[in-house]
Amino acid sequence: MDARLRTRFEVEVISELLGELSHYQLLGLKSECAQDEIDVGFRNESRRLHPDRVAAGATPELKGKANDVFKSINEAYRVLRDPDLRRLYDQTRAAERGGEEDESRRSAESVRDPSKAARTPKGEKYWKMALQCWEAKDYTGCKMQIQFALTFEPNNETFKEWQVKAQAGLDAKKKDTGGAGNSYRIRLG
Encode pLDDT of 59-86 as tens digits: 899 999 999 999 999 999 999 999 989 9
DSSP alpha helix (H) spans, 18-102: 23-26, 37-48, 52-55, 60-81, 83-96
Q: What pLDDT is stored for residue 111 in this prediction? A: 47
CB-hemisphere CA count at 13 Å for 45?
26
Residue 184 lies in a domain: no
One domain, residues 87 and 110: no
One domain, residues 74 and 159: no
Q: What pLDDT is stored for residue 129 in this prediction? A: 87
Q: What pLDDT is stored for residue 68 in this prediction? A: 93
Burial of 31-64, coded b for 16+ CB within 10 Å and e otherwise, reads eeeeeeebeebbeebbeebbbebbeeebeeebee
Coil, helix or strand at residue 148: helix
Residue 36 lies in a domain: yes
Residue 59 lies in a domain: yes
At which of 80, 99, 118 does a domain end? 99
Q: 29-43, 45-59, 153-167 — which one is most confidently predicted on average?
A: 29-43
One domain, residues 143 and 91: no
Encode pLDDT of 147-183 as tens digits: 888 888 888 888 888 888 888 888 887 777 665 555 5
At which of 99, 130, 150 does a domain end? 99
Residue 186 lies in a domain: no
Q: How confident is the model at residue 5 (pLDDT cuts 50, 70, 90)?
A: confident
**Domain limits for position 134:** 103-176
Q: What pLDDT is stored for residue 54 in this prediction? A: 81
Q: What pLDDT is stored for residue 58 in this prediction? A: 83
One domain, residues 93 and 19: yes
Contacts of 86 (CB under 8 A, 6+ apart): 35, 38, 79, 80
Distance from C-alpha of 70 to C-alpha of 75, rounded to nearest angstrom:
9
Contacts of 124 (CB under 8 A, 6+ apart): 118, 149
At which of 53, 73, 99 does a domain end? 99
One domain, residues 94 and 114: no
One domain, residues 109 and 92: no
Residue 183 lies in a domain: no
The mean pLDDT value for 36-65 works out to 89
Query: Chain-centre distance of CA 158, in angstroms?
Result: 16
One domain, residues 73 and 125: no
Cβ atoms of 56 and 6 within 8 Å: the answer is no
Q: What pLDDT is stored for residue 101 in this prediction? A: 44
Q: What pLDDT is stored for residue 140 in this prediction? A: 87
Q: What pLDDT is stored for residue 1 in this prediction? A: 58
Q: What pLDDT is stored for residue 56 in this prediction? A: 79
Mean pLDDT of the chain: 82
Q: What pLDDT is stored for residue 119 in this prediction? A: 84
Q: How confident is the model at residue 187 (pLDDT cuts 50, 70, 90)?
A: low
One domain, residues 88 and 20: yes
The mean pLDDT value for 90-118 works out to 64
Contacts of 128 (CB under 8 A, 6+ apart): 115, 118
CATH number at residue 28: 1.10.287.110
